[in-house]
Structure 1
Amino acid sequence: MSRRTIMLVDDEKEIIKLMEIYLQNEGYILLKASDGVEALEILEKHSVDLIIMDVMMPRMDGMEACMKIRETRELPIILLSAKNQDIDKISGLSLGADDYVTKPFNPLELIARVKSHLRRYKQFGRSPNADNTLIEIDDLSINIATHKVTIDGEEVKLTPREFAILQLMASNRGIVFSMDRIYQEVWNEPFMESRNTVMVHIRKLREKIEPDPRAPRYIKTVWGIGYKIDPD
């Protein structure tokens, strides 16, 4: 099995060294950058499977870099920040990050999150050997094999998490999924975080696939319980 490549983006050398020790022990190939500009330059030259990126950095911070990366790439992004308010986490997730870890962090917890994201990305990401399964709901088309989603023939770019949530509900139409269950199924770990994480991903997903996110056509809210996609 090929080794996964992780890019570490942080201007604090001590943080880089700490993550480097733990990630190398797990057998990952590491690339390092000190700010968003350098990270984008590395992405143009190297194949990267996951990014761990600090929010506060010179030249280009993690938030701006995350937005630019999401314009062309779907790989998992974990943001690091000393800011631990919900609004900061929501902002990061809204810009396309898959996870948000506050400093100081437990290196073993970060490793667990990295493994979870890589495992989930492999399961829901592009796979040339996957079955060519196509799910169609009115004008919405979801190709499981190519990780491609289209609305009325126009392709919609989703992050791996957004695609995983959509695939989960589209493959189980009529079933109501609570936020706890969505988190457990998609993040592949016990539900311990704020429900804001799931809510932000649902909101971003609706903004991309719904003609009118305020009156959802595909992802319906079942008040007090969760979300579902109705059967045909």
Structure 2
Amino acid sequence: MASPVILILDSNQRTGFLLKDELETAGMAVKVTTSYFDGLFEFKHKKIDLVITDISLGCEADFTSLKEIKRLSNIPVIVLSHLSDAKLAIQAFELGADDYLTRPFSSREVSLRTSRLLRYYYQESPLLLSKETYCSKVGLVIDFKERTVFIDRKKIALTHLEYGILTYLVKNEARIVSREELLKEVWGYSYLGKERNVDVAIRKLRNKLLIFSPRVSKCIETKWQKGYRFNAH
């Protein structure tokens, strides 16, 4: 993958920029923030491939940033800590951390661990190879078994109907699906005059996807007087 983007959340600015220099030397793009709220804003509004976060950005080890990132996404997270308490490390892993490093640590070690996680998540992950998962070039991932949708590793909250529409179009990728077919297969009925329901639902789905990725939103194409087609190419 080219130029992975790393977000560092660390109240110690010096540590953050030392890591930034090391990671940029390894070919990564890096954003450093010392504020939880600034970091969360960056995470929500930019494509981030991996997060390195301090165990807390205040005084207490409350894992606030880790919890929020994992609530929104499944991207890899490395937790940094000034505490060597084994219970905290276990708690971090239980909350979804992929790695846990105790200070002092070398910037080189963090860089190597970051590269390993990027390789696993974006090149070797079983999720990417599973037949129960759809992965597109535009960053859309659907886990059919868990009924979850991700865009650029961020979890997208869809309604039952929106999920049904998206997955049906994806499973019939590149084929034009009529409104009547969507009514029958997704809604479970086929009544004349209900086609407008499809148009309204598609518009809402597109708008929701647009918040996270204009590219993914545009993959749902309207075919005049024919229906809709999902095209990720």
- After TM superposition, the score normalised by the length of structure 1 is 0.55
* Match of residue 10 from structure 1: 10
Offset of 1:35 from its aligned partner? Answer: 2.7
Write out per-residue CA displacement over residues 148-202 of structure 1, whole angstroms, 9 at most, x where no aligned residue: 1526xx5599xx9xxxxxxxxxxxxxxxxxxxxxxxxxxxxxxxxxxxxxxxxxx
Q: Is 1:143 the equivalent of 2:133?
A: yes
Amino acid at match of 1:45: H
Supply the distance in 2 between the matched residues of 1:59 and 1:48 (Cα, whole angstroms).
26
Instruction: Measure, in 1, the Cα distance between the counterparts of 2:17 and 2:58.
Output: 19
Give the structure-2-normalised TM-score.
Answer: 0.55
Q: Percent identity?
A: 22
| Higher relative helix content | 2
One-letter amino acid matched to 1:72: L
Structure 2, unaligned runs of 5 or more: 136-140, 154-233
Match of 2:65 in 1: 65
Runs of 4+ in 1 over 2 A off after TM superposition: 58-62, 142-147, 154-157
Residue pairs, 1:146-225, within 5 angstroms: 146=141, 148=143, 150=145, 154-155=147-148
Q: What does 1:40-189 align with in structure 2 at a 5 Å threshold?
A: 40-58=40-58, 63-122=63-122, 123-124=124-125, 133-134=130-131, 142-143=132-133, 145=135, 146=141, 148=143, 150=145, 154-155=147-148
SS at match of 2:63: helix
Aligned residues: 145
Q: Measure how far apart 1:95 and its partner are.
A: 1.2
1:155–1:21 CA distance, 2 compared to 1 (3 A): closer
Matched-pair contact (CA < 8 Å) for 2:20–2:31: no
RMSD: 2.8
Distance in 1 (CA, whole Å) between partners of 2:60 and 2:126 is 28
